[in-house]
Chains A and B, each alone.
Chain A
Amino acid sequence: MPVLSRPQVHSLISAFFGSRARTLSIATLLALGLFSTQFVTSGTAQEKYTIAIANLMQVPALDDALEGMKAELTKEGFVEGKNVEYIYQNANGQIQLTATIANDIVARKPNVIVSLTTPMTQAVVKVARPANIPVVFASVTDPVGAGIVRSVDIGELNITGTSDAWPFEAQMKLIREITPNVKRLGLLFNPGEAASQYGLREVRKYAPELGFTVVEGPVSSTNDVFPVARGLVGRVDALFLSSDNTVISGMAGALQVAIQNKLPFYVGDSGTVQKGGLAAVSVGYYGLGQDTGRLVARVLRGERTIPTIVEKGTEIYVNARAAELMGVRIPDAVLKRATRVYQTIE
């Protein structure tokens, strides 16, 4: 039995939208809503800045970066609610929405646009460049390869940002140091993500000289992480992941496999270590955010041609609880150098 009969549904909707010309009334409603929001947003003071943020999807690393950016901007005298207004748009992982969001943001004429991730930055730059609005990107792994800037060393008019190329060499040296017996390294990655391509290239480059054989575990969605990691058991001595958002979002699946099978599971950013990854040499997304914030501040003060900052990433993060569960003893030398040792799995 349906809860409502068809006429009942009709009358409900009629009550909501009016009986005649319902489509028109939706348009009116929308228009009314728009006018009212307009009144709220207009009436800005003279010394007020608008910073628009365009994000592709919400993941801990990117949230950390945004937090770092806002904190740094506050320190620089650009305080939210006082002289800065933030506009935040998130595409929820839908790439088709990037152009819509980019257009929407540019049309609001902010003083600067902060864009996160590669596709979002590409879409934003495409629209913002002709409109002469400066763009500061954050967390783009390979800005030159993505066609965003011509070079990271030479400043480009109206476009700058921070690149989060992971320090794979340092990371793999850390794996060697903590678990010297690891020979076969299982690499989880999503071949469909731009950032991952870079990671794969780097891992393959450094593996031979550090004595690793790479066993590839390609995943196409977060749901794949668990079965693919499970399939690597017995064929690898440790799990590792590339710098892509798919595997990072689905890391819990890999963690479960790692704990059940006493496999060390290495990751690449502080946020994932906190969630149970064994250890990482991380860019530190909060720090990346702070650097981004500094760039935004410089742009707001009128600079237009600033070179891209490539984050070096030297901070070591360790999760002691994860080490215990995975049956790994972390050498004291590593613990001493670590920026932070997490005692629990969040």
Chain B
Amino acid sequence: MTWVLPLDIGLVMGLILAWPVLAFAGSFRLLGFPDLTLEGSLPTGAAVYAVAILNNWSLPTAIIAAMIAGACLGALTAIIHLQFRVNKFLAGIIVVAISYTLDLRIMEASNIGLIQRPSVFDYVAPLNGLIASPFQLGTILLLASVLIVGAAVLIMAINTSWGIRLRVAGSNPNYARALGISVPAYLIVGLAITNALVAGSAAFLAMYQGFSDVGMGQGILIFALASMTIGERLVPEQRLPIPIFVVVAAIVGSLVYEILVAYAVRLGLAATDLKLVTAFFVLAVIAMRIRKHDDEFLEVIR
């Protein structure tokens, strides 16, 4: 049975980190905004959550506080982009830099330990031993249900007339303006939502790993981009409406990536070769599933 254990770890991490991927893919694909802010909103969410928990806030309020902090950072990126006509990438980078100092100030340290503190996973712990002994069934069920409900709500929101206006504002600002849609307002709200999701998942991450650290965001952007790409290659695009495709691809990508990492760690690749192996894997998936209209992908990036 030991060979399924990495699957378990990969599922847990993949379900937590699916949110940043979802946020990145959503802002990138639906709003046309390659949002780098998540590298800042992730540690800031964890920092706010940790400080709230240290001050004995209840779990839901701490998670909501984290999400509000993330929303503020996302809105800030949009405002910097709109107000000062700063390039989208640069606006994100500026906010990531701001968030670093913010995290150190909020936590008054670079690391807060949460091992002895309550977490939502305590409530589902009894379920954990149910199948094979170390298989974290309760944790996985909890995270999966949060993700499924959240994703369903997101998809429904995207399909309302409000959601459609949001997408138009992002993907075709000129047309949106012609329709009388306030592009800045929708962009600010859009990025606030995606970054609130990132910060919310950061709270779960801090809970799960038992600490919040300013270095938590490092590499999350590359992870999000890689997972998004993997997911988009693996999920059949033609059969799904775009919003559902983006959401499903993000979740699938995150799960596949994290499960791969967990297996690579189990195989003893962690020490030095892990990065090369994951890079090769991403490349392999992309190469295997090259699509005819890939030039469009470059269009979006440009």
User: Interface of A with B (CB < 8 Å)?
Assistant: 6, 9-10, 13, 17, 22-23, 26, 30-31, 33-35, 37-38, 88-104, 106-108, 118-119, 122-123, 125-126, 129-131, 145-148, 150, 191-194, 196-197, 220
What CA separation (Å) do A10 and B266 show in the bound complex? 29
A22 contacts across to B, CB distance below 8 A: 288
Q: Is B152 an interface residue (CB 8 A)?
A: no
| Closest B residue by C-beta to A99 | B209
Partner of B267, one of A17, A33, A131: A33
Q: Are A96 and B216 in contact (CB under 8 A)?
A: yes
Return the CB mask of B93-127 against A: 1 if under 8 Å, else 0. Answer: 00000001000100001111111110000000100
| Closest A residue by C-beta to B6 | A104
Assess A99 versus B263: contact at CB under 8 Å? Given A9-B287, A126-B115. Answer: no
Q: Is B219 an interface residue (CB 8 A)?
A: yes
Q: Are A97 and B290 in contact (CB under 8 A)?
A: no
B17 contacts across to A, CB distance below 8 A: 96
Q: Is B82 an interface residue (CB 8 A)?
A: no
Partner of B261, one of A33, A89, A97, A119: A97
What CA separation (Å) do A192 and B287 show in the bound complex? 38
With a 10 A CB-CB cut-off, give which of B12, B215, B288 has the most chain A CB atoms: B215
* 7 cross-chain pairs, A with B, having the tightest CB-CB distances, nearest first: A147-B113, A126-B210, A194-B111, A99-B209, A122-B211, A103-B9, A34-B3
Q: Is B90 an interface residue (CB 8 A)?
A: no
Assess A104 versus B288: contact at CB under 8 Å? Given A94-B218, A148-B115. Answer: no
Q: Are A95 and B210 in contact (CB under 8 A)?
A: no
A125 contacts across to B, CB distance below 8 A: 115, 210
Task: Give the dominant DSSP class at A's interface.
Answer: helix
A10 to chain B, nearest CB (A): 8
Apart from A95-B216, A103-B12, A147-B112, what are 19 other A-B pairs with CB-CB below 8 Å? A10-B287, A10-B288, A95-B213, A96-B216, A96-B223, A97-B261, A103-B9, A107-B134, A123-B210, A129-B115, A131-B134, A145-B113, A146-B111, A147-B115, A147-B117, A192-B215, A193-B110, A194-B109, A194-B110
Q: Are B211 and A146 in contact (CB under 8 A)?
A: yes
What CA separation (Å) do A37 and B210 show in the bound complex? 30
Q: Are B265 and A89 in contact (CB under 8 A)?
A: yes
Q: Are A104 and B112 in contact (CB under 8 A)?
A: no
B147 contacts across to A, CB distance below 8 A: none
Partner of A99, one of B13, B214, B274: B13
Q: Are B115 and A122 in contact (CB under 8 A)?
A: yes
With a 10 A CB-CB cut-off, give which of A35, A104, A108, A125 has the most chain B CB atoms: A104
What CA separation (Å) do A102 and B214 show in the bound complex? 19
What CA separation (Å) do A166 and B234 show in the bound complex? 51
Q: Is B177 an interface residue (CB 8 A)?
A: no
B265 contacts across to A, CB distance below 8 A: 89, 97, 100-101, 104
Q: Are B13 and A100 in contact (CB under 8 A)?
A: yes
A291 to chain B, nearest CB (A): 22
Q: Are A146 and B262 in contact (CB under 8 A)?
A: no
B285 contacts across to A, CB distance below 8 A: 23
Q: Are B5 and A107 in contact (CB under 8 A)?
A: yes
What CA separation (Å) do A102 and B265 show in the bound complex? 10
Assess A13 versus B288: contact at CB under 8 Å? Given A107-B134, A131-B134, A145-B109. Answer: yes
Q: Are B110 and A196 in contact (CB under 8 A)?
A: yes
A147 contacts across to B, CB distance below 8 A: 112-117, 210-211
Q: Is B83 an interface residue (CB 8 A)?
A: no
A130 to chain B, nearest CB (A): 7
Partner of A37, one of B110, B211, B267: B267
B10 contacts across to A, CB distance below 8 A: 100
B287 contacts across to A, CB distance below 8 A: 9-10, 13
| Closest A residue by C-beta to B211 | A122
A9 contacts across to B, CB distance below 8 A: 287
Return the CB mask of B56-75 against A: 1 if under 8 Å, else 0. Answer: 00000000000000000000
B208 contacts across to A, CB distance below 8 A: 99, 126
Q: Are A122 and B113 in contact (CB under 8 A)?
A: yes
Assess A104 versus B5: contact at CB under 8 Å? Given A96-B219, A99-B209. Answer: yes
Q: Are A191 and B116 in contact (CB under 8 A)?
A: no
Q: Are B210 and A38 in contact (CB under 8 A)?
A: no
What CA separation (Å) do A209 and B285 show in the bound complex? 62
| Closest A residue by C-beta to B117 | A147
| Closest B residue by C-beta to A198 | B109
A-B contact pairs, 21 of them (CB 8 A): A13-B284, A17-B288, A22-B288, A34-B6, A34-B263, A88-B271, A92-B272, A93-B218, A96-B218, A96-B220, A103-B9, A104-B5, A104-B262, A104-B266, A107-B134, A123-B209, A126-B208, A126-B210, A147-B211, A196-B110, A197-B109
